[in-house]
Amino acid sequence: MTILIAILAIVFIVLTFMVVSKTQSILKGLSKSEVEESEYLGAPDRYNSANGVGLFVFWLISIVGIVWSFIVYKKDFLPEASSIHGKETDYWFWVSMIVIMIGFFIVNTFLFLFSYLYRHNKNRKVTFYTHNNNLEIIWTTVPAIVMAGLVFTGLRVWTKITSEAPANAEQIDIMGKQFGWTVRYAGVDDNQFGKYNYKLMDDAGGNPMGVDFSDPNSFDDFANASEMHIPKGKPVLLKIRARDVLHSVFIPHMRVKMDAVPGMPTKFWFVADKSTADMRAELGKPEFNYEIACTEICGRSHFGMKLLLVVDEPADYEKWKKSQKPLLTENPDLLNKVPDNLKAKAQKYTSTEPVAAEATPEVVASSVLGNSSKVLK
């Protein structure tokens, strides 16, 4: 509030100053004789040199500001990459950044330097110089060659990143919804996903992901709406979908981003090479956690669609998987959806001791939001 008042005050001071100077100039203008009026109203005025010099000074100060701010803020640029392809894209990001920064400094320097050097001077002879085809050819080819280099490297990296996932990739079904993520794993017994169908989705009935329980592969599938675990050093294939509007899976540290589209499953595979524990040690932050965010506008709580990502050592990962309860165990009522001929097989998962109902996705989502507003204070 105070800042706003201060800003308004500054604006009004400027306005007052202008009105005063304007009045003065009008008064001055009145005292001048009409004879001085010339047809050439656009002739350079007494501020002309100041403006020309000003542009160059602006640029010099800018260079200092750019370098200074870059050094100060660099520490949070591109949060430490934790995936193999991420290191490669980061490398090419900085290569491109250096190339464009060279262009940025050279071209802007010429622009502002010429503004300074060739500010109006009565005695200057302007060079009548209309075109130079050699120059045009040079400054068409040089950017073209640089672009070609960047395109070539970019294409190579892009093709690698978007290639088919290795056959041994750990598959995870991740679904975006307003406003949260749910992940599903294929289970430890068969390691096969059960089919899903959006028509089977039923929040009230405990089947938010629309898992088809007439498919026996689904019996050991388990899901989680608060965190996703992945193994370190092993390819992970995210099978991404959305059930209401567009979402986008964004894992900043993994350099992973892919839209979640209703009706069109998408995918992204990557290899995480630093576990959560590794990163905690490396950054010296014992609280550190990987996070998954949404980067496609999806409505009111778009900014709160958070899922924790835990990167485990492979052995811990397998252990974690074993400790997870299949959907059928979590919610024995789902047994009703299983066709009679498969009920015997399914019963294996419901006969274990009943467990406390897991937080429904809604609750998790709102607790995420609750957290964020708490952090806000």
Partner 1 sequence: MSTVSQVEVHEHSEHAHEEHHELGFIRKYIFSEDHKVIAKQYLISGIVWAVLGALMSVVFRLQLGFPEMDMAWMKPFLGDWISLDNKGLGKLDPNFYLALVTMHGTIMVFFVLTAGLSGTFSNFLIPLQIGARDMASGFMNMLSYWIFFISSVVMFVSLFIKTGPAGGSWVIYPPLSALKEANPGSGDGMTLWLVSMALFIVSSLLGGINYVTTVINLRTKGMSMDKLPLTIWAFTFTAILGILSFPVLLSAALLLIFDRSFGTSFYLSDIYINGQALPNQGGSPILFQHLFWFLGHPEVYIVILPALGLTSEVIATNSRKPIFGYKAMIFSMAGIMFLAFIVWAHHMFVTGMNPFLGSVFMLLTLIIAVPSAVKGFNYITTLWKGNIIFTPAMLFAIGLVSFFISGGLTGIILGNSALDIQLHDTYFVVAHFHLVMGSAAIFGMLAGVYHWFPKMFGRMMNNSMGYIHFWITFIGVYLVFFPMHYIGIAGFPRRYYQWSGFETFNTYMDLNAFITIAAIITVFAQAVFIFNFVYSIFWGKKASANPWKSNTLEWTTPINPGHGNWPGEIPTVYRWPYDYSKPGAPDDFIPQNVPYSATPESNLPEENELIAAEKEINSIKYDTSLHD
Ranges within 169-228 binding partner 1 (CB under 8 A): 178, 198-199, 201-204, 210
Residue whose CB is less far from partner 1, 107 or 281: 107
Count, residues in the chain: 377
Tokens of 240: 């991404």
Mapping DSSP to helix (H, G, I), strand (E, B) and coil, where does residue 226 land?
coil
Q: Given the rule CB under 8 A, which of 134-142, 216-224, 323-331, 350-358 is the region that contacts partner 1?
A: 134-142
Helix, strand, or coil (residue 231):
strand
Q: Is 21 helix (H, G, I), strand (E, B) or coil?
A: helix
**Nearest to partner 1 of 31, 373 (CB atom):** 373
Binder among 23, 57, 139, 233 for partner 1 (CB under 8 A):
139
Q: Does 23 interact with partner 1 (rule: CB under 8 A)?
A: no
Applying CB under 8 A, which of residues 32, 134, 263, 356 lies at the interface with partner 1?
Answer: 263
Which residue type occupies 352? T
Contact 182, 223 (CB under 8 A): yes
Nearest residue (CB) to partner 1, 306 versus 321: 306
Burial string for 152-177 (b: 16+ CB within 10 Å, else e) reads eeeeeeeeebeeebeeebbbbbbbbb
Nearest to 221 by CA among 186, 183, 188, 175: 186
Quickly count: other Cβ atoms within 10 Å of residue 201's Cβ. Answer: 17
**Binders of partner 1 in range 343-372 (CB under 8 A):** 368-369, 371-372
Query: What residues from 27 to 86 belong to the interface with partner 1 (CB under 8 A)?
Result: 29, 39-45, 47-48, 51-52, 54-55, 58, 62, 66, 69-70, 73, 76-79, 86
CA–CA distance, 352 with 331 (Å, rounded to integer): 11
Q: 211 - beta bridge partners?
A: 196
Fill in the per-residue mask, 308 to 347: x = in contact with partner 1 (CB under 8 A), - = not in contact: ----------------------------------------
Q: Which of 23, 299, 318, 343 binds partner 1 (CB under 8 A)?
A: 299
Single out the segment in contact with partner 1 by CB under 8 A; choices: 183-191, 219-227, 286-294, 322-330.
286-294
From 113-121, 225-233, 271-279, 340-348, span contacting partner 1 (CB under 8 A): 113-121
User: Residues 228, 174: contact at Cβ < 8 Å?
Assistant: yes
* Angle formed by the axes of helices 133-161 and 84-117, nearest 10°: 160
Residue from 13, 20, 67, 143 binding partner 1 (CB under 8 A): 143
Span of 98-106, 186-194, 331-339, 352-360 interacting with partner 1 by CB under 8 A: 98-106
Q: Name 177's bridge partners.
A: 180
